[in-house]
Structure 1
């Protein structure tokens, strides 16, 4: 009779040890689990010190080894900045050096089966956190927005691929909510060991689609989405033989190896930590997004001008023709855009985008490049005789300006909610 050994008793070859050590160090550096609680008192300081030390090491590594770019652009709305690439180079180099030293200094250890198990647990929760974060946001249709009036008035050829894909998903709330529900399902399944394999399969499918969209539509979250897909596959590596036996070779499978049960006090601690994780990263965000959705749906219209597309009937100003206004759009939120090349406004897709603050007592409207700006780009007095007319007057660049606006009866077919069971022809 053949004797079988538990995985914890088998000796690993040196290359498998090295791969584990490299994966462990790289994954820990990328996930930075010690910064997950940075919003809690006491952890913010430690997280800040860690971020400062990492930033210094990344810049030093880039200056002497990586040379991604002379001046690194920090992470912002895009995760694919030059700093992001230099950071990954640093992670890879640190993991390679660390793994080599680890294996050399720990040659007598037979394997890392127990450490591998707990690394899988950590990766499971990281992927679950990411899936829940994105999924709950989509579940309330808050990640991708329905195309606003400014986008509808922009020629299709002027849109960048990312914006086109964003509006494609945002156009249909049911589709976006369906996508979010699948991501939430993946996150929930990953929270329990018995359903973790199914959760990893669902997560790999979801993040493969996300990764391909980011790569094919030039969406600047390529690195992160590629990592989420790779992490999902990492969760399935240990199950590869079992999955192949079941789905391909039609053979019986054995249950996964698990470490011996924890003492009772540790099981209580484990259950407590899992409960805290679910409350902080699933239930609380769900409630917050629900509140946000309710606020957006029933928000007051005070502090906003009448929504619509306004043509410029009269524009008196000592400005070059290229800076003159052709039309003005006021959105349902206190934002809008102007068909002008004036760089006082945020230029995107040949339109100048702005946020505005209305002072109904003084009858002034302050135009800002970004809603977060403390000072406006310019402030004008406004009058609204009726819902179809707006008059603006004041100074822009110290030049007197008078603008008369009249609402256009613009009709955008894309803004209609169209669905036809019966379609007699392509439209």
Structure 2
């Protein structure tokens, strides 16, 4: 130690000997954060190589979430039990610390500064990657899309708390974009030692806000967001003594922290080249991939295949005929449609007084419109969401209930395609297994649509829909009816 002090007298505190409790604390932290930062689950690697691509590699590395166990209970999804993975990591770390301490007893080593340095590097880059990936889905506003027409006509009490919160953010498009910009910027700060402290403070504050909002609204993203709060607080530990002296004791400080020594031009060039390449790939290349996937390939939470031309709107059911009998409107009717909505994409929504399963997931971006579920997750109200494909030659549409549970093999075979050919599947046995219906349509005018055919109970129905003139209070949203994707059917 004296030799080190003589070589670096102005930085001798950096190389000071660690106390026993500091070593024990570090050993625990080292094992704990390695378990949370480095993928050790076989399922992660299996997913990575099942459908390997460069984008998939970047997305899986950036979006890694440690998950040793999943408790299937209410608390396991929204409450304290959802942190079970952290508890398991803490138990393993405690055992590992005891073994490490026993093995290291009586030995004097000066490697803790280096281990601490590299652990901080690993944590810094994990935060940076996660925050940048988290930010892009907001910067390209698709994590919380603008509310659909059917969503805007949903009663407030029919929303699950998380969906109400997400819809509120979805309305504020530029706020969501700003959040994405902030998260991307804060993530980039993690790649540089000089900006680590300010970046960790920003990340801890922003992600804490997201975590407690998800606790309040049952958003199920509280674990992942508080994960970054935990990592950020770990990074801030190093700076607390100097921050205390500067802001509390009002003392002048000269921060001095351990760093590796690049004692040759080759090492320095390699270091800067590696960092530049890392930032290029995970910020610019990954950002370009995200843009392409969202806006050119249609991998959004919302469908992108266009529906009927100039049919977007809210419709009243002026006539409903069941097996030849005209049913009069009743708010308690579980068969007659109460109203209907045609979205700008190929989704038809109708409401009946009948219990429908409530999907409590956040909605996942898919390549295939049929499997995109964000529009009906987190809401009740008896609305049925139908995906439809138009056959203009026969004046027919083929429809499927999007809210039903699809066969696992059917999903696996079709999720890689841009769209599912319902007309072709209608001629096979799959028709009955997933409930494909064929309805005739007429358009006497641009304000009226008439549908006729058989429902899932094989009853004959005829529905006359008249558009209700409305002036949306929120405008047409981020994407109007005329918004065109480069995505081609």
Indicate yes or no: 2:458 matched with 1:398: yes
Give the secondary-structure state (helix, strand or coil) at the position aligned to 2:462: strand
Task: Choose the corresponding residue for 1:11, options 14, 17, 37.
Answer: 17
Give the secondary-structure state (helix, strand or coil) at the position aligned to 1:332: coil
Q: What does 1:142-291 align with in structure 2 at a 5 Å threshold?
A: 142-262=142-262, 264=264, 265-291=266-292
Report the equivalent of 2:390.
359
Q: Deviations over 1:52-110 (max 9, x none)?
A: xx98xx56xxxxxxxx85xx479xxx975898544333222211111221122123245
Q: What does 1:2-401 align with in structure 2 at a 5 Å threshold?
A: 6-7=12-13, 9-33=15-39, 39=48, 58=68, 72=72, 80=78, 84-107=82-105, 108-110=107-109, 112-262=112-262, 264=264, 265-292=266-293, 294-295=295-296, 302-304=306-308, 306-317=311-322, 321-340=333-352, 341=354, 343=356, 348-360=379-391, 361-362=393-394, 363-370=396-403, 373=406, 374=410, 376-385=434-443, 386-395=445-454, 396-401=456-461
Q: Deviations over 1:350-394 (max 9, x none)?
A: 133425131324422222325995464341313131322222222
The 2-side partners of 1:368 and 1:155 are apart by: 21
Cα 1:28/1:117, change in 2 over 3 Å: same
Q: CA deviation at 1:281?
A: 2.4
> What TM-score does the superposition give when structure 1 sets the normalisation length?
0.79
Aligned-residue CA RMSD in angstroms?
A: 3.7
Deviates more, 1:186-195 or 1:273-282: 273-282
Contact 2:78 2:215 in 1 (8 A): no
Aligned pair count?
Answer: 393
Give the secondary-structure state (helix, strand or coil) at the position aligned to 1:250: coil
Contact 2:442 2:449 in 1 (8 A): yes
Deviates more, 1:136-145 or 1:333-342: 333-342
The 1-side partners of 2:249 and 2:348 are apart by: 59
The 2-side partners of 1:345 and 1:137 are apart by: 25
5+ residue gaps in structure 1? Answer: 49-53, 60-67, 418-427
Give the secondary-structure state (helix, strand or coil) at the position aligned to 2:321: strand
Q: Deviations over 1:187-220 (max 9, x none)?
A: 1111111221221122122112212212222221
Cα 1:33/1:300, change in 2 over 3 Å: closer
Cα 1:114/1:301, change in 2 over 3 Å: closer
> What TM-score does the superposition give when structure 2 sets the normalisation length?
0.70
The 2-side partners of 1:31 and 1:199 are apart by: 18
Q: CA deviation at 1:4?
A: 7.4
Give the secondary-structure state (helix, strand or coil) at the position aligned to 1:239: helix
Cα 1:135/1:308, change in 2 over 3 Å: same
Give the secondary-structure state (helix, strand or coil) at the position aligned to 1:6: helix
5+ residue gaps in structure 2? Answer: 61-65, 360-375, 411-429, 478-489
Contact 2:319 2:463 in 1 (8 A): yes
Cα 1:34/1:401, change in 2 over 3 Å: same
Deviates more, 1:151-160 or 1:393-402: 393-402
Contact 1:204 1:233 in 2 (8 A): yes
Q: CA deviation at 1:330?
A: 1.8
Contact 1:390 1:404 in 2 (8 A): yes
Contact 1:18 1:99 in 2 (8 A): yes
Q: CA deviation at 1:301?
A: 6.4
Cα 1:161/1:328, change in 2 over 3 Å: same
Give the secondary-structure state (helix, strand or coil) at the position aligned to 2:334: helix
The 2-side partners of 1:156 and 1:92 are apart by: 41
Contact 1:323 1:342 in 2 (8 A): no
